[in-house]
Structure formats: C-alpha cells, structure tokens
Amino acid sequence: MTSTVTHRPARDAATTAPNASVTAAGQMPPSTTAGGTRRRLGLLLGRVALEVWLPVVLVGVWWFASANSTSPFFPPLQKILAKTWQVWVVQGRVSSDLLPSILNLLAGYGIAVIVGVAAGLALGLLPRLLDAVEPELEFLRAVPAVAILPIAIIAIGLGDDMRIAVIAFGALWPILVNTVAGVRSTDPVVRDVSTAFRLKPAIALFSVRLPSAAPQILAGARTALSIAVVLIVVSEMSGAYRGIGNFVLAAQRNYAITDMWTGMIVLGLLGYALNLVFRVVEARLLAWHPAYRKKGVK
C-alpha cells in the first residue's frame, strides 16, 4: 500500500525513533523551511481528502438520489434538513424533547456507573462472594434490558423515574462485569508490591486496584453507554408524552414522514456527540496509562 506513509505518519516515524513518536511525525529537519511547510500542508490536505471523500460521496448520493423523490418514505434530503432546522431549532424541540431525554439518560447512566463500579470492586475483591452469586449475576446480566420495560411500567408507572430505572438496570451489567474482571486482573507484581509496601487498604484500593482496572471499566462503560441510548429511545417509544423517542414514533404513526426523518437525524447526531464526549473523557482518565499513551498517538 503506497499511501501508508500519508495515512499513518506517526507509526512509520516511530519505527525509526521509537521514543519520539508524538513529535516525530511533525518534526522536520530545521533546514527545510518553506518547501517543508508546503509539503506538510500537501500531506495534510491529502490525508483529510482521504478521510473525507467517502462520507461526502455518500451524502451527495443521498442528496441527489432523493432530490426528486416522490416516495412517501424517502423525502428529499434537502427537505429533511430544512425541516430539521425548523422543527428542532426554530420550534425549540431541542429544549422541550431532546433535553429531557438527555437528562434522563445521564441520570440512569450515572447511577449505573456508580453502582457498577462499587459493586464490581466489592465482588472483585471478595472472590468467595463472587463465586457464590455468579449464577444470579449471569442470569441478570443476560436479561435483554428492554424486556423489563413493561414490568417497570407496571411497578413504577410511566414517569421519568421509570425510564431512569430501566436505563440504570441495563447499563449496570457491562460496567459491573468489566470492573470485576479489571480488578481481578491486576498485575500480580503490582499487587505484591503494594502488599510489600504495606499500603493502607484504602490507598491500595483507590490508588492501585482501581486505576489498573480503569481501561477495562471504561470499555464496559462504552458498551453501557450505547445500551443506555437504546433504552432511553425505546422507553420513550412506549408510553411517554415527550422526549425524542416519543417524537419519532408519534411522527411515524401520524404519517408525518419528514418529521420522523428529522428525529432520526437528531438521534444520529446525539449518538455521535455522546460518543465524542465519551472519547474525550476516556482520553483524560487514561492519559497516564502506558498502553493508552502509545495508542493515542496513532
């Protein structure tokens, strides 16, 4: 592959100077000034073009293929985008429908993170307890979380607290399972060192075990986040009077297809935005981690 050089400069540079990987890509010999800058600019533009051409083509195809569409199900993209602006920004549905959804999502997800990490730590440190309750955990984490929605409606009703509870339940398990695994897989040498230095249990827990489990906990938290997004949408689709999930389904049932598409666009953007935020948080939390430092460069 000839384009490897433009596409992954850091790694190629790193093979010659393994310890300078962060700056190696950007560092040019000081003698090349104007020519070097131009070459770098060219490389950068080429790289951007390489990344961007396919999305541009895909959106272009959608735009032009749907431009004169008379199909009731696939209105022109132009119309969808104009309507998205109209409905969500001008009419203010961002604050009336999107914001409540996001707040419920964050509340449920927050509960899941706190309970999942705490319970995961406890079970990870108490192997006998873990072994005893393992069948129950295997059973509970296998419940497809949307299945408990009707039960939650019976028990809690149709309010926001029901949605928060369902999200918390569904997002809990990936976090808990990964925390247990992360705590249990602490490097034995690290464990021995912290014993040898007679660290206080609290310090050993929060400064040694928890950080060493962090990459796995975050991997679980990432899975949990996508489950949480699914759950907020589904829970609003069954019996809410507001929220983005409710908006999309109501639009479909009223045959307001363009409205439905605007909701789908906004949900797609929401998913993408949450993913970006998660990535930033993860990068900050793991900035110290050797494996992540190396990986973050690529």
Partner 1 sequence: MVMTVHPVHQAAPFASSRRRRPSAVRWGWRAAAVIVSLALWQAATILLGDTVVPSPGETVVALGQLVATGAFWAAVGATVGSTLVGLAIAIVVAVPLGLLAGSGGFATASTRLSVDFLRTIPPVTLIPLAVLLYGPSAEMQVVLIVFGSVWPLFLQAVYAVREVDPLLRDVSRAFRLSRRSLWVDIVLPSSTPFLLTGLRVASTIALLLAVAAELIGNAPGVGREIALAQLGAQVPTAYAYVVVAALLGVALNLGVAVAQRRMLFWHPSVRTEGR
Please say which residue, 16 or 31, places its beta carbon nearer to partner 1: 16
Contacts of 242-245 with CB under 8 Å at 24 or more apart are 242/96, 242/97, 242/100, 243/97, 243/100, 243/101, 243/104, 244/97, 244/98, 244/101, 244/270, 245/101
Nearest 5°: phi and psi at 17? Answer: -130, 80
- The distance of closest approach from Cβ of residue 168 to partner 1 in the complex, given in angstroms and rounded to an integer, is 16
The two tokens of residue 158 are 């149709």
- Least distance to partner 1, CB of residue 148, Å: 6
CB of 198 to partner 1, least distance (A): 26
In the complex with partner 1, the residue whose CB is nearer, 164 or 240, is: 240
Q: Measured from the CB atom, is 156 or 199 closer to partner 1? A: 156
Q: Which is nearer to partner 1, 110 or 296 (CB)?
A: 296
Give min distance, CB of 276 to partner 1, in A: 9
How far is CA 136 from each of CA 8, 111, 186, 204, 254, rounded to the nearest angstrom?
46, 21, 25, 29, 43
* Among candidate residues 73, 74, 105, the one with its CA nearest the CA of residue 227: 105
Q: How far is the CB of 144 from partner 1 (least distance, A)?
A: 4
Nearer to partner 1 by Cβ, of 73 and 196: the residue is: 73
